[in-house]
Every structure is written in C-alpha cells, then in structure tokens.
Amino acid sequence: FLYLWQGDITTLAADAIVNAANAAMTGCYIPNHRCIDNAIHTFAGVQLRQYCHAYMQEQANKQTGSYAEQEGKRRSSYAEPTGHAMLSPAYNLPAKFILHTVGPIVGDTLREEDCQLLASCYTSCLDLASRHQLESIAFCCISTGEFHFPNDRAAEIAIRSVQGWLVKHPASTIAKVVFNVFKNEDLAIYRSLLQKM
C-alpha cells in the first residue's frame, strides 16, 4: 500500500499526484520559483492554469450569486479553504489527474490547528481520489516548503493520516499511496518513520 520515492513528482504516472497549492489555486506567479506548485503548473501546461482559473471563478460565483444578479457589480474574490482538495486533469503530465490542496501556513509556532488542517489535506485528497475511483496517488510533502511546516511533524501527520484513512476505508479503490520526497532530509525522515511501522 505505502511506498516512498525520491524524485520529481511531475514524472510519476500515478492516477493522481498532489499539488501543494496556494489559496488562489492558479499556480505560483514567481518566475523560476522552486516550489512544487510552480513545477506542476509549468510541466502540466497553460491549460491547467486556465482550468484552475475557471474553477475559482465558479466558486466565487457560488458565493455571490448568479451572473444576472452580479451584472454591473464586481464579484467578490474567492480563496480555497485550507485542508480542502480539488481535482483537475493533469494535461501534459504522465499522471491522469492532479489533486490540489492548500496546506496550513505555519507562523512562529506550530499550533494544533495547523496539524489538524494538514491532516485534513491528506484525508480530503484521499476522499476525492476514492470518489473518482482512482487506484494510485502520490503525495508531495505538503506545507513543508514555503509554508514552513516542520518536516518531521509533517511526515508523522502524513503517514498517520493516510494509514488511518486506509483502515477506515477497506473497500476503497486506492491500492497504492506514494510518499514523494525531493530532499534528502525528507527521505531520511520518511524512511525512519516507515521502518517503525
């Protein structure tokens, strides 16, 4: 069920790969930024940004009413809630789909709420993947980069959340969960935790 792999998540041919998105959901807008959001949007192609933009407009419209009601008025902006997940096509990537989730941004100290929201990112992605009858999913290290979640705690939450979800959903179509790491530090953390299972 659980696998550990170090490398570029954009090269994986899983049914779905997970993108650690920002609340705007339309990719990173800093040229050549080294975040996973930028890498996924770059290699998936401009179609992904267009799809995410349309999704965000749809969500904003749901919040503020129909187009007719909003004629002549500026629609309010919409921010994707932390801990939720959204499914999109993967376009030019070898994966079939991308699961976009917004992880918690950690301030000076790690709060219990941050831990709960991170766990929700994993379970929301699994719920959505199961609903679409996907069989394999590859998770990145959500929130550990630009959002400053401590790597060791994030890995513990990731493994615990996935394990707990799989136990509660034995009839799920999900047969393979890959923990994708890029840094050697994360590889060592995940390897240590998984060996204790």
- pLDDT, one tens digit per residue, over 112-166 is 999 999 999 999 999 999 999 999 999 999 999 888 999 999 999 999 999 999 9
111 close to 117: Cβ distance less than 8 angstroms: no
Does pLDDT of 190 surpass 80?
Answer: yes
Q: What is the reported pLDDT for 90?
A: 98
SS3 86: strand
- Distance, in Å, from the CA atom of 148 to the CA atom of 171, rounded to the nearest integer, reads 35
**Length of the chain, in residues:** 197
- Distance, in Å, from the CA atom of 179 to the CA atom of 15, rounded to the nearest integer, reads 14
- Distance, in Å, from the CA atom of 93 to the CA atom of 99, rounded to the nearest integer, reads 13
Host H or E run for residue 101: strand 97-102
Q: What is the reported pLDDT for 28?
A: 86
- Distance, in Å, from the CA atom of 115 to the CA atom of 153, rounded to the nearest integer, reads 8
Does pLDDT of 72 surpass 80?
Answer: no
| Residue bearing tokens 């959500």 | 142
Lowest mean pLDDT among 3-12, 73-82, 88-97, 140-149: 73-82
Q: What is the reported pLDDT for 65?
A: 62
Read off the tokens for 20.
């650690």
Classify residue 195 by burial, with Cβ atoms within 10 Å: 0-12, 13-18, 19+: exposed
Distances (CA, A) of 41 to 18, 20, 29, 169: 12, 11, 10, 31
Q: Provide mean pLDDT across the span 45-51.
A: 96
